[in-house]
Amino acid sequence: MNSENTTWFAEARYGLFVHYGLYSLLGRGEWVMNREQIPPVEYAKLAPSFLAEKFDAKTIADLAVAGGMRYVTFTTMHHDGYRLYDTQFSSFKSKRDLTGELIAACRKCGLRIALYHSLNNWMDQPDAVDAMEDRVAYEKFIVNTFARIRELVTKYNPIDVLWYDGWWPFNAEGWRAEEMNAMVRSIQPHILFNGRNGLPGDFATPEGHLGSPKPWRPWEACLTLNESWGYHAGDHNWKTPGQVVDLLATCAQGQGNLLLNIGPRGDGSVPEESVRVLAAVGAWLKRGGAEAIFDTERFTFDFHERGNHRGDWNHAGPVTTRGRSLYWLVRRWPGTTATLGGMETKVQSAALLGVNRPVTFTQTDGRLVLTGLPETPPDPVCPVIRLDCDRRPVIYQTGGLRGPHGPHPHYDPCPSDIAH
């Protein structure tokens, strides 16, 4: 683990994932070649049409900055084997160095850069299936994989993270992961790895769910803005700005990062809904929300819904903390009076974040009642109430609910990472 260089990552909180590749032309997701069993020869015929005429690295970097993000993770090669950079090892590549363009744009505006790279791919021969069945094929496959990764990190030096994916069907031993990481670090000693070549890596990457590792270590939850990673023309199930803020705050509560994905169209343009949602979240952060997200500390209390669990108490919303301050991101605005149960520290003052308005409150036996609040939500995305306490905030661990039959059972699963 490269602990000396994980500080920036552990403090980043918010990043932009960009899934873009040849599959984007078909508009049916990044697994389209595999899911539809498109023969490699047929799939390769798409390559001359991949012009990326509307791919603008500055636009994507500016979108990340305006959205309040701190880093960008870009798919240099997905499982289909199509490279978005110039390489000496394959002609199956983009005409432009899209990877280099995005790195330059991110560096110019102060964003950290992570390069996603699939270990496996469905185009090169021998492929991983061949390598499983024949020792000679395996040796050639591994040599090719190492050469491809060595070229990537030599060509783009420095980068901040090498983001492995596509680790099946091998484990760390099969990928020669220790040797792989050592090779990369010999070229870029500062670099961070995720945990997807069979080793734990420098940080965890739960996918499609939120859950900090136990015991804690740096982590990022990677999620999609709709239901697809690569561009899908039929997927209109976009998250609202409020839902994104909820995810972001939940990650911040666990001292982790939200890596939120967009999928540009085949021509490289970013869907308008992606732009709208990211801009709205960025505006919320600038209105004062950033105080509740960045530089926060781990807070193990959990009264928001997690996984598939539902409860009458999950309406409250996530909370984050910094020092003696607690930030309540109110998921469903209650009107002029709000009550928070289970507050075990004494509240000294309360205020609505971003509107510079103090809030009247009373506190009795852990029951905090806030009064004189606006009838309607004071922020269109997510109102935040800051509670300044006499010491580090503590809330009763099972959600502040003590009923006649005892406390509500605490539910806090932490599923393992999954692949996309």
404-418: per-residue pLDDT in tens?
Answer: 333 333 323 233 333
Cβ-Cβ contacts under 8 Å for 23 (sequence gap 6 or more): 29, 30, 31, 32, 33, 78, 80, 82, 230, 231
Nearest to 273 by CA among 227, 209, 208, 317: 227
What pLDDT is recorded for position 63?
98
Determine the Cα–Cα distance for residues 170 and 382; give it in Å rounded to an integer: 44
Nearest to 26 by CA among 82, 71, 86, 69: 82
As a whole number of angstroms, the longest Cα–Cα distance in the chain is 74
Torsion of CA 36, 41, 42, 47, to 10 degrees: 110
What pLDDT is recorded for position 98?
98
What pLDDT is recorded for position 1?
61
Share above pLDDT 70 across residues of the chain, in percent, rounded to a whole number: 90
User: H helices within 156-236, ranges in order?
Assistant: 172-175, 177-187
pLDDT tens for 119-135 read 999 999 999 999 998 99
Confidence class of residue 356 from pLDDT cuts 50, 70 and 90?
confident
Does the pLDDT value for residue 311 go beyond 60?
Answer: no
The stretch 395-404 carries a mean pLDDT of 51
> What's the first-to-final CA gap in the chain, in angstroms?
24
pLDDT tens for 63-87 read 999 999 999 999 999 999 999 999 9
**What fold is seen in the domain 3-286?**
TIM Barrel (3.20.20)
Decide yes or no: CATH 3.10.150 for domain 319-407. no
Ordered by start, the domain boundaries in the chain are 3-286, 319-407
Nearest to 259 by CA among 229, 232, 296, 289: 229
In 3-state terms, what secondary structure has residue 158?
A: coil
Does the pLDDT value for residue 314 go beyond 60?
Answer: no
